[in-house]
Structure 1
Amino acid sequence: MVAFTKGHGTGNDFVIIADPDGELELRPDQVAALCDRHVGIGADGVLRVVRSRSLPDGAASLAEEPDAEWFMDYRNADGSVAEMCGNGIRVFAHYLVRSGLATLEPGTTLPIGTRAGVRDVVRSGTGYQVDLGRWRLSGHDPLVTADGLPVTRPGLGIDVGNPHVVVALAAEAELAGLELHRAPALDPVPAAGANVEFAVPEEPLVRDGVGYVRMRVFERGVGETLSCGTGVAATALAVRHWAGESAPNAWHVEVPGGALGVRMFPAEDGEHVALSGPAQLVFHGEVELV
């Protein structure tokens, strides 16, 4: 039997398994079984909590930041490996703190290793804030077709450690009318796939220096989720890009599972984007892996 904890960030939910010494090899089919909402625990993904020194992918994290003791081994619900997860890393940090594996006092930083590099987490007024690092326009801007969307729309490719394509919609009715039971079609298809976000700016777009936008997301390897942290960041970046130089660097993004904050700020290696929001642990248990 394997001990687990169920947690979520704005409805983006995860099965958390502590494996500090890297002794557990999770097969893709086992991950998919854990995440199955009918016959498993049910989740959008699995967070394996492992020391960076205990797995090969952690070597790069320790080279980048020797204090990055813990590595977030994240798997999508279909068992595929993912680079990063903005909601997941907040839940991961919350699990470390609540379980006594790490401390995070106000004003201090907790570095966590990921396949997208080391990410720094701090406490925030809503829970936790994570510096997602440098972002970039990917240069891959496919056309996007989705069920419930009357015409094909252009997408903007944005990389925040994992790939995203953001699509602007004209009205709330279009957002509500989307049928995301299957993956939107991208033309051309990115080599590594992409998460696809559909965004509607609120009216007015900016209030008291903060931009407001709503979105829904289809995550690769998962499907539609109630929230996607890196997708929220990509959405804010895309809307700011479209809005022009006068657009703010602080954003409030509404998702079906709640709301998250996004902030863009300068750093030595270029502009970074930070994501803030809640993280909760729901229950603990044991499960048999077969």
Structure 2
Amino acid sequence: MKKSISLVFINIITLICILVLLASCKKNDAKQNSIVTNEEDSITIEHRDKLKGVSYQMAPTKTWLNANEKDDVKMTIVMDLNRTDASNIKKMDSIIIPTTFEGKREDYLPFPLQLEALKNISKIIFFSYPTQTFAAYKNGTLVYTGPTNMGREKDPTPTGLFFTNWKAEETTSTFNDEWELKWNFNIENKLGVGFHQYELPGYPASHSCLRLREKDARFLYDWADQWVLADTENIKAKGTPVIVFGKYDFKAPKPWLQMVKNPDALEISEHELANLIKLNLASIIKEQKNSKLIAQHK
């Protein structure tokens, strides 16, 4: 009888210990979940509106350059608006210019300055085919933007979600071994597609790559992350997500010329980008978590 009571007592003590242990585990799990939530909630996006009241007009290229070519600020904005570079702008008969240069570079380009849908995405790059522009965001805040010249009609740039792979300060084009590409960052290894410095004639002219002015190519080259390889054939972690989206109407006039009649004609809405993110969010977050885990174990 005494032995039976003793066994019951031991079982009761054991059960109590198990319950205490389970309660402790749940508390720790709740604490960890709370920390994760707090980290996400602690990310705040500083909102800024674009410069208002900007309008646009056409101007004779030679006349405008004679008066403004030595002004780096004005030249950058006007080259951005015409999706071109310093050598190719001189070949144009007329160019689109703003009525004021009081804004920053991003005020004249179509991407929104902030996006709540990107709040928990550490880095991402967008390339817009219809507007021929790109934008880099860090946790929902626009950190850099500029013009691009993407794939011509015969060799269109593929659209969708990609990730930055390998990079090289200078490499040779797979289409022509005489073409030297500076600050090249590959995003589609099998097709040889990437973004890099190359001339911008002011319209989609590449063989599927995403052309940039050298300053812009260098920024993305330094800013984006490379993939991490497990071996020569397997990827351990992907790089920075890149979304290429939209279509370009090769039969129509250059789309940015519409801004003369409607300054907001090319504006990319937060809603449009949020929908793109929604379609790809699971993949982006999955790769982002994987990259962080690998970085922690280096």
TM-score with structure 1 length normalisation?
0.24
- Normalized per residue, the structure richer in helix is 2
Q: Higher Cα Rg: structure 1 or 2?
A: 2
More relative contact order in 1 or in 2 (CA 8 Å, sep 6+)? Answer: 1
TM-score with structure 2 length normalisation?
0.23
